[in-house]
A and B are shown apart, each in its own frame.
Chain A
Amino acid sequence: MEDLVGRLSALDPDAGAAIKVIAYFDRLVEGRAGLEPVVRGAAVLTGCAARLVDADRGVAIRVDATGAVHPSAEPPDPAWLSAPLHPGGPPALWLERPGPAGPVEAMVLERALSAARGALARTRGPAPADDVAAVLDAAVAEPARLRAARRLGLGLAARAVALDGGRAKVLAADQPIAATRAGVGPVVPVADLPSSWAAARTALRFAAAGTEQDPGPSVVHADQLGGLAVLADAVGPGAEPVPDVQDLERARSTAPWALATLVAVATTSSLRTAAAALVVHHSTLQDRLAHVEELLGWSVRDPSGRLRLQLAIALRRLHNHH
């Protein structure tokens, strides 16, 4: 099957194919066309079958080059030309033809996806990611947040979870929390999720990466922070670390085990438990602590020194995670 643009360009070589592609999809958008016409446009303009898949919304449409809707059980071939609905997302629109994309194909993918985004939002409702953003945003009117919460199936109460890179999850009260670095907000009525989100983001700042550079627990619950949460506001971007934090850094750069040792001591109930957690002999731990206390200039083994250590560790994380 000849493609429409090819047919048209042969008849009218002066008119640029790209302009026709743009005009084609502009008219579909203007006419509030549904998803099928958008996918059909991609197929007939390029002369090859096209498919649109949005797993989040349960959309899978395939149209062949004659314009007929023709579902296929075969998964898309990774060699086919494709593009995601959103930058960084999984491929959503395929032209069933291997790359590289010519100028017409590239334009068709771009314009068809743009049209598909609008049609998806209008006909299938917002993507779950948009609903998640809505329930967490105090600026969104409460009725809209409640509708979004219903679409997400959250029930009456839920919690926000803050993840690396500004990503968010919303979990129903009884859903488990994944084990990656996370700040976990308190369970609240769904209308109050913006506050759970704020608390979750604060909690995330106290969560360690779990690496040698940043040892410690990587999942932190906001409702277990207590008064520490107040510190989060005090440590903004550009704030000068207090000397105790600088001392921690110095200790870390002196000995690779220093920071992990101090974190273990600060977060366990006895030195014996700390030694077991670090997988070192009790006497080794004693030796290391003596060494590191010398670097810090204060004892981490008496109650006030332990509190000072805990605060220094918490402050260091706040400096590292804004």
Chain B
Amino acid sequence: MTTTESDSTRVGPPPPFDPELAAALEAMPDLPTSLTADLIPALRQGTVLRDATDEELRRGGAFEVSERPVPGPHGDIPVLILKPTAATGLVGAIYYVHGGGMIMGTNRGADSTKAFDLAQELGLAVVSVDYRLAPEHPHPVPVEECYAGLVWTVEHAEELGIDPERIVIAGASAGGGLAAATTLLARDRGAPALAAQLLFCPMLDDRNESPSSRQMVGLGVWDRTANDTGWTALLGDERGGPDVSPYAAPARESDLSGLPPTYLDVGSAETFRDEVVAYASAIWAAGGNAELHVWPGGFHGFELLAPESELSRAASGPRIPWLRRVLGI
């Protein structure tokens, strides 16, 4: 990470955390705010937030749980499938891309809970992709695996009980960035068609130079240093350079027309604030349909660390109505 002389825009102090979130953050065990590459192995080992068990995924019988290997360009890609047991015909689906800074996480990690909640609430199926992680598997492996999993889902839609016309891609953090990139790939390759994209606090911009990224140095969760670590794992020396692909960093895409309805949310006190706002603005500027929520005082992943908080409750509120609207259910 470098703070270059070109940071001509002066930024103010960081926006204050919401008091309840600050309290929860304070009570948390030490989370590395400024994650560096040397911490990656330890972080992958000691997952602060553990994976869901099959039993938990079944949610008292609401879902039938299975795993399938999906053939991909770099070998099999495991996908987790949650099928609503109450389904009588084809149902819509959430194709979920997990978070973890490009370097960690699984397709049944804690960040997936809110997407699985939405599926349960609306009777949708879930396909959650376990893409290979950087730095062992740099760009384009993760995004191509996400894309391959999506193609497979559409091709096997009938067998999975899924209506291929009603597939929503969703992702959180790095998964949000990969979901946005997968959506761009799908648009540019002409298939598959997506009904919507749902980007929770997505990681979109490798340049890491926005006012929010500079304001939050050393604060909260996933600061500028951690962001540099994640992007460098994915892109190596190319990070921040002139030739980064929009399929790696969707903020690099100059044309955001032709995208499905998009839902974005982010906290005001996190690294990704400005790139998420900019992405929504670019979609609107291109004539697209986007719904953006910026939750004041939210740090990155606040819903994960403080699910009981008022702000987390508020943040989950608009998603179901949005999904009902875009899916027509």
Contacts and interface: CB of A to CB of B under 8 A. Distances in A.
Contacts of A68: 313
Contacts of B25: 27
Contact of A31 (B16, B27, B48, B307): B16
A24 B26 contact: yes
A12 B29 contact: yes
Contacts of B310: 36-37, 40, 67
A24 B23 contact: yes
A36 B18 CA distance: 13
Interface in B1-41: 16-20, 22-30
B308 A24 contact: no
B309 interface: yes
Nearest to B50: A11
A11 B20 contact: no
B20 A33 contact: yes
A25 interface: yes
Contacts of A25: 23
B29 A15 contact: yes
Contacts of A32: 19
A40 B309 contact: yes
Q: Which of B18, B27, B48, B307 has the most CB of A within 10 A?
A: B27
A20 interface: yes
- The binding surface of chain A is classed by DSSP as helix
Contacts of B27: 4-5, 8, 20-21, 23-24, 45
A248 B25 CA distance: 71
A31 B29 contact: no
A8 B19 contact: no
A128 B184 CA distance: 63
A27 B26 contact: yes
A5 B24 CA distance: 10
B309 A31 contact: no
Contacts of A41: 20, 23
A12 B22 contact: no
B313 A67 contact: yes
A28 B308 contact: no
Given A12-B30, A25-B23, A31 B313 contact: no
Nearest to A44: B308
A31 B15 CA distance: 12
Contacts of B18: 31
A28 B309 contact: no
A270 interface: no
A33 B313 contact: no
A66 interface: yes
B48 A11 contact: yes
A210 to B, nearest CB: 52
Nearest to A13: B29
B50 to A, nearest CB: 9
A33 B308 CA distance: 15
Contact of B19 (A23, A37, A43, A67): A37
Contacts of A26: 23, 26
Given A11-B29, A68-B313, A31 B308 contact: no
A319 B282 CA distance: 85
Q: What are the 10 closest A-B residue pairs judged by CB atoms, nearest first?
A: A31-B19, A67-B308, A12-B29, A33-B19, A27-B23, A20-B27, A23-B26, A27-B22, A24-B23, A44-B308
9 contacts: A23-B26, A24-B26, A26-B23, A26-B26, A27-B23, A30-B19, A33-B20, A43-B308, A45-B27
Interface of A: 4-5, 8, 11-12, 15, 20-21, 23-28, 30-33, 36-37, 40-41, 43-45, 66-68
Interface of B: 16-20, 22-30, 48, 307-310, 312-313
Given A8-B27, A31-B16, A40-B308, 20 more contacts: A4-B308, A11-B29, A12-B30, A24-B23, A27-B19, A27-B25, A28-B23, A31-B17, A31-B18, A31-B20, A32-B19, A33-B19, A33-B20, A33-B23, A37-B19, A40-B310, A44-B308, A66-B308, A67-B312, A68-B313
